[in-house]
Amino acid sequence: MEDIILHRFKDMNLEGATVINGFPTDGLVSTITANYLIGALKLDQIAALDSPGFPAVSMIYDSKPKFPARIYADEKAKIAVFLSEFTPLPGLIRPLSNVIFSFVDENKCSRIIAPEIMPTEGESLEVFGVGSTDSGRSYMNELGIKPISHGIITGISGVLLNEGRRRNFDIITLVAQARPEIPDARASALLIETISKIISISIDIEPLYRDAELIESRIRNLREQSKTATKPATFQNMYI
């Protein structure tokens, strides 16, 4: 197992906050969702994560170096977002899940939301959910989020769900349907719409719908260009 170090830059009162998992499993949806939330809500970077298993890269924004995995938050909005520019290798999945839970415990956060994607060939696109607790499932039902009755959730989201059930802690995995010909950014917009309902925060997603193809094209190009720098694919943050 890889050791993961959390470097804290700023303290915030995040008691009762919702934590968003932005570590991607498949595609770009988790990272686009995390990026957009950070930009739309103007979240501050409060910490960075580092590990020997992370890509040996520095992300440069506004002439400043940044770690490839970071935490952004807002005390007033009560939200914290984990953001990654790479897909974690299998050996990092459980250590990263443990770090997320340690952060939740230390800051007395109320729940974790993990966005994911599910391929579909249907005409209409929907967001489905899986909750780790009865109360979480009941809340999703009140919001009209359809449950997934059978299936598999992989990666960090899957580990978080299992641990949430063991702890009786609210983990909500949101799974957006997506078609190959439609940009992942549109699935991210559906996810953000659902997240805004869960956390009762108004988020303008019109730019994401409007510029979906441009956003995804740029991210995919950056990801391809950076593959030679590290084993996991990396790509630049669009909004930070």
AA letter at 77: A
If you average pLDDT over residues 37-45, what whole number do you get? 94
Q: Which domains does the chain have, with CATH numbers?
A: 15-227 (3.40.50.10900)
User: How much is the average pLDDT of 115-144?
Assistant: 89
pLDDT band at 233 (very low <50, low <70, confident <90, very high): very low
pTM, whole model, 2 decimals?
0.87
Burial zone of 180 (CB within 10 Å; 0-12 exposed, 13-18 middle, 19+ buried): exposed
In the chain the beta strands, taken as DSSP E runs, fall at 5-8, 18-22, 44-50, 59-61, 64-66, 69-74, 79-84, 111-119, 127-131, 146-147, 171-178
pLDDT at 215: 66
Residue 230: pLDDT band with limits 50, 70, 90: very low
Question: What is the sign, positive or negative, of the torsion defined by CA atoms of 166, 151, 31, 110?
Answer: negative
List C-alpha distances in Å: 45 to 12, 74, 92, 149. Answer: 11, 9, 22, 37
